[in-house]
Chains A and B, each alone.
Chain A
Amino acid sequence: MTNSDPSTDNLDSGKPKSALSSVVNFMLAVVRLFARWLGGNRLPKSSPIVPPQSVAGTALMAVIAIMSFLACLTLAAVTMVFEQAQLWESDVSSELTVQIRPSEGVDMELEIERAIRITEQSPGVGRAEAITEDQSAELLEPWLGAGLDLSELPVPRLLVVEIDNPVVLDIAKLRKSLIEAVAGVSVDDHGIWINQLKRIANVTIATGIGIFLLVLAATCLSVIFATRGAMAGNQVVISVLHFVGALNRYIAREFQGRFLLIGLQGGLVGCFAATVFFVVGGMLLGFLEGPSGGSPFQALFGGFALTPLVFAGFVFVLILVSALTAMTTRMTVERYLATVQ
């Protein structure tokens, strides 16, 4: 009778092996043969110098993702305010108002005609139009009530002047010409409003940039702590690399590569979350506004939309966060290695 029991074979060979180990060895041999067939007898891809599990990768990636998300939101808010401030400024500075106060013995209609003529002759002015008495009454109706006869009251008349080219228009010269020719005239170029808007917008933008920089600084600090942790956890690896003759910049590059990958992954997650936030937020706001539109948010910030400029900002954040992560790691590692022999 032929004995095919592996355990008996093992006894025969004088080396006690269990049946289980024989089966495992056989399976390993099959796997090895299969791997060799698949890989064409090539050696497997080299392991990374810095073991991935020795770096607190998941935690750091989560921190970088959150920081990238906040950086994206801040940058988007700054971009929106900047764009809207430009829009406000161009809207307001595309018009100016000429006011003519009634004076005794002065024919208002003649003064208005003269003011229109002088204004329209000025370079840069597109059109000047007087607001009629009816239109003035309509504007004042909320305060003075309906059925008002303005001819009995000393209500000033207004001219709305549309500016074609604000660069060419010399407002000071126009103001001087009007004051010399028209009685009781004054020119309002909305300069006070423009300056206030500019100031508010600049403060908002500066605050946003400050927050953006703080977020980046917090990201760098997190990376420094994580790198120090990784260095402490890889002291054996570093000492081995040193005694096989690795240059400090080689070791720094290995750590930098590992952290760059983490930074890229975290940055991608954060920027993707910000993109989703903007798309979903824009849809929700559109839904809440209803068909009439015109929410206060839209009036202030011009809508909650993922514009190309905002999206470009997200890409910028991704590149910046990844580059900062890699650079911070390299500097931290090089500083550490400079103290080690």
Chain B
Amino acid sequence: MIRFENVGLRYGMGPEVLRDISFQIAPRSFQFLTGPSGAGKTSLLRLLFLSMRPSRGLISIFDKDAAKVSNDELPEIRRRIGIVFQDFRLLDHMTTYENVALPLRVQGMDEARYRSDVVELLDWVGLGERMHVLPPVLSGGEKQRAAIARALISRPDILLADEPTGNVDPPLARRLLRLFIELNKLGTTVVIATHDLNLIDQFDTRRFVLKDGRLQIYD
């Protein structure tokens, strides 16, 4: 599904923040991406999401060479990837419902076709009662769940989550992780970037560990 070969990344003329990164992500797999703060987790996620181009190496996503993907092809690929940002990136002028429905709205779908799906998903993540509320009114955990719901609404092939438990208390963090595991069981490939080793230790699954720009994989 996703293949990195000797990928390197540098910002401008600075040193390489990612060095010789090589890995493969299989369909329906589940993996954690971890490492200390500033190790390059977010940069790696941005490469996975094609919002950055590598300085060197090969990235292949859905059997397409990322270097050859044009700006016109990007939206089609991004619709197959759900992403949850550390800072949520919810649009403050839209309600929770509208934020979650946004991926379907931009695809030009009629609201009548997706309304029940959005409401059902909001109920599933526990935001059924908060669907007409604007994000500034939501708590950190609620924003996190709204961001996750937005990433999932278009049923992506792969879910990328950047520190999805960073703003929530441990019980909610465990609940969210269970949510990701359920999604994975339903067929979604999941990559979760986190530096919370205690949380990772509770789940026996594949780990990508970034340190000093290099990647080690523990299957």
Chain A positions within 8 Å of B, measured between CB atoms, are 43-44, 46-49, 51, 53, 236-237, 239-248, 250, 338, 341
Provide the residues of chain B in CB contact with A48, threshold 8 Å: 93
- Beyond A242-B78, A244-B150, A248-B71, whether A44 also contacts B51 by CB under 8 A is no
Cβ–Cβ contact B93 & A239, under 8 A: no
Residue of A nearest to B104 (CB): A244
Contacts of B14-73 to chain A: CB distance below 8 A: 49-53, 71-72
B109–chain A nearest beta-carbon distance, Å: 12
Cβ–Cβ contact A243 & B83, under 8 A: yes
Report if B177 contacts A (CB, 8 A).
Answer: no
Closest 5 CB pairs of A and B: A245-B79, A246-B106, A51-B93, A244-B103, A245-B78
Report if B178 contacts A (CB, 8 A).
Answer: no
Provide the residues of chain A in CB contact with B50, threshold 8 Å: 341
Residue of B nearest to A236 (CB): B89
Cβ–Cβ contact A47 & B75, under 8 A: no
B71–chain A nearest beta-carbon distance, Å: 7
Report if B197 contacts A (CB, 8 A).
Answer: no
Question: Please, what's the 1-or-0 string for B85-104, where 1 marks a CB less than 8 Å from any CB in chain A?
Answer: 00001010111011000110
Chain B positions within 8 Å of A, measured between CB atoms, are 49-53, 71-72, 74-76, 78-79, 83, 89, 91, 93-95, 97-98, 102-103, 105-108, 111, 115, 132, 150, 154
B51, B74, B93, B97: residue with the most chain A Cβ atoms closer than 10 Å: B93
Query: In whole angstroms, what is the CA distance A245 to B79 when docked?
Result: 5
Main secondary structure of the interface of B (DSSP, over half): loop
- Beyond A240-B89, A245-B75, whether A47 also contacts B107 by CB under 8 A is no
Provide the residues of chain A in CB contact with B89, threshold 8 Å: 236, 239-240, 243
- Beyond A244-B102, A244-B106, A341-B52, whether A43 also contacts B97 by CB under 8 A is yes
Residue of B nearest to A239 (CB): B89
Q: List 10 A-B contacts (CB under 8 A).
A: A46-B111, A47-B98, A49-B105, A237-B91, A242-B75, A243-B51, A244-B79, A245-B107, A246-B75, A341-B52
Which of B74, B108, B132 touches A44 (beta carbons < 8 Å)?
Answer: B132
